[in-house]
Amino acid sequence: MRTFRYLLLSMNLLLLAACSTTKQAPVASTPAAAPYGPAAIEHEIEESEKRMHDFIGFALYDPQMNQMVVSHNADKYFVPASNTKLFTFYTCLNMLGDSIPALKYAVHGDSLLFWGTGDPIFTHMDVKNSVVYDFLKSRPEKLYYFDAPFESTPFATNWGWDDYNYYYQPERSVFPIHGNIVKFTRKDSLSAYTTTPALFKAMVKTDTGSNAAGDSFVRAWRTNEFTFYPKYAKAAFSVEVPFITSPEITVKLLADTLDRPVVWVKRPVPDEAQTFYSLPADTVYKRMLQVSDNLLAEQLMALCSGTISDTVSVARGIKYSLNHYLSDLPDKPVWVDGSGLSSMNMFTPRDIIVLLQKLLQERPREQLFPLLAAGGQPGTFRNIYKAEVPYVFGKSGTLAHVHNQSGYIITKSGKLLLFSFMNNNFPVSSSEIRNEMVRIMTEVHEKY
């Protein structure tokens, strides 16, 4: 009997063992991936800041929800560089009309008296415009030029003095002509180079030696004397060098360009005046914003000042805008020029978000976006955010150790978001910072 019990117990144990070997272990459940949202974007920004050793300000705003999606140092001040042009653009929308006021004039008998408003596009080499040229060229009266009051210095506070020789820093003046630059061009090594305006041809000498900067054309520091260094010239080239402005050089260039006498009258401008208008303002805004033309930005702000005073002044235009159109910004900007060339400018990312909202109130996006740089399109965004249909519209800004982008982004889900992505004080190259920004904003476009 005892043997039978042991046998039965053994059989039960074997059966239990068999059952245990066929039973499957429970499968651990895999948690669903967290949705891409504000926390993920904030994490990307923080990691980028650590990796690049830079100071990042980031603001991402949803206008439909009327709330900030991500705010990282958005209340801190950053050097904006050419993001400043967005503020100049908004000021122009409020202070200038549909067309650019090109010059002021009065007719006295057989004399046409005229003076500048600050308009930058008279005979500008990259802006198709013959309206003012045709007006002055065809007038039957004798031409007399008055030098209008101009309070702005040729360079704004904290512009780089050693950039005087480069196309992006021409001098500010009350009557810009040819964009205040001299253009030297050559088709190939067998051709002679041309000088435009031709007036400066006699002021160029050739030196077969070298210069510290390695530039093919160098202007003297305080004179309109240019040196050509063939050693550094490419076979084909197009080089732009700013010239020093003055009433004397303006009159000489006017007479040379119009091919008729122009006399400089050294006395106050007449009290009575008519305004002559040239191109549609949007044409000028588009070039300023898309290719980041610094002279256009400075002179447009000067034009704005001319609507409130007979004295043309970039600083007056800025002050008026801050007091009348931008007094509701969350952080008072430090704003010293129209272009953003000055490293004295300081704006916060949330200021820029408010400005972007204001721009949308001034212009529907169908009219606003075509004026801005767009991903993959001609302009400063041409090599980034490439897509069959552009999804980023805005403004970039670059100075030494500064690279920023601000504007509008349309996500694949159809959301319109406003963003300001500001990078200051980084030790790496601007291209590395740009690539990092593009990577993060592309993720926002694809996933948010």
Indicate if the pLDDT at residue 10 is higher than 60.
no
DSSP states of 200-227: GGGGEEE-SS--TT--SEEE-SSSS-EE
- Which of these ranges, 26-30, 230-234, 267-271, has the smallest mean pLDDT? 26-30
CA separation for the pair 224, 442 (Å, rounded): 47
Q: In what side-by-side order are the strands of the sheet with 237-242? A: 194-196, 181-186, 237-242
Indicate if the pLDDT at residue 273 is higher than 80.
yes
Mean pLDDT, residues 147-158: 96
Give me the residue label for tokens 């993920």: 40
Q: What is the pLDDT of residue 35?
A: 79
Which residue, among 310, 286, 193, 309, has the nearest Cα to 240 in the 3D structure? 193
Mean pLDDT, residues 73-90: 98
Q: How many CB atoms lie within 10 A of CB 275?
A: 12
Indicate if the pLDDT at residue 18 is higher than 50.
no
Mean pLDDT, residues 255-284: 96
- The pLDDT confidence band at residue 136, using thresholds 50, 70 and 90, is very high
- The pLDDT confidence band at residue 403, using thresholds 50, 70 and 90, is very high
Q: Quick: pLDDT tens for 31-60.
A: 455 678 999 999 999 999 999 999 999 999
Mean pLDDT, residues 121-138: 95
Indicate if the pLDDT at residue 128 is higher than 50.
yes
Collapse the DSSP code of 128 into the 3-class scheme (helix H, G, I; strand E, B; otherwise coil) and give the result: coil
Domain spans of the chain?
38-93+288-447, 177-244
Q: What is the pLDDT of residue 23?
A: 41
Collapse the DSSP code of 67 into the 3-class scheme (helix H, G, I; strand E, B; otherwise coil) and give the result: strand
Return the percentage of the chain with pLDDT > 90, whole number: 91
Which residue, among 444, 435, 443, 350, has the nearest Cα to 396 in the 3D structure? 435
Indicate if the pLDDT at residue 221 is higher than 60.
yes
Q: Please give the biggest Cα pair distance in the chain.
A: 144
Indicate if the pLDDT at residue 21 is higher than 70.
no
Integer-rounded Cα radius of gyration of the chain: 31
Indicate if the pLDDT at residue 236 is higher than 60.
yes
**Domain 38-93+288-447 superfamily per CATH:** DD-peptidase/beta-lactamase superfamily (3.40.710.10)
Indicate if the pLDDT at residue 204 is higher than 60.
yes
Which residue, among 45, 34, 86, 134, has the nearest Cα to 355 in the 3D structure? 86
Q: What is the pLDDT of residue 149?
A: 95
Q: What is the pLDDT of residue 103?
A: 96
Indicate if the pLDDT at residue 135 is higher than 60.
yes
Q: What is the pLDDT of residue 96?
A: 97
Q: What angle do CA 214, 220, 222 make, to 5 degrees?
A: 145
The encoded tokens of residue 398 equal 């670059």
Q: What is the pLDDT of residue 33?
A: 55
Contact 334, 71 (CB under 8 A): no
CA separation for the pair 150, 140 (Å, rounded): 28
Contact 72, 50 (CB under 8 A): no
Tell me the one-letter amino acid at 319.
K
Collapse the DSSP code of 185 into the 3-class scheme (helix H, G, I; strand E, B; otherwise coil) and give the result: strand
Indicate if the pLDDT at residue 15 is higher than 60.
no
Q: Quick: pLDDT tens for 300-344.
A: 999 999 999 989 999 999 999 999 999 999 999 999 999 999 999
Half-sphere exposure of 362 (CA within 13 A, CB side): 18
Mean pLDDT, residues 408-432: 97
Mean pLDDT, residues 177-193: 97
- The pLDDT confidence band at residue 20, using thresholds 50, 70 and 90, is very low
Give me the residue label for tokens 């390695």: 214
Indicate if the pLDDT at residue 25 is higher than 90.
no
Q: What is the pLDDT of residue 34?
A: 64
Kindly provide the b/e burial profile for residues 88-106, where b requires at least 16 CB atoms within 10 angstroms of the residue's own CB: bbbbbbebbeebbbbbbbb
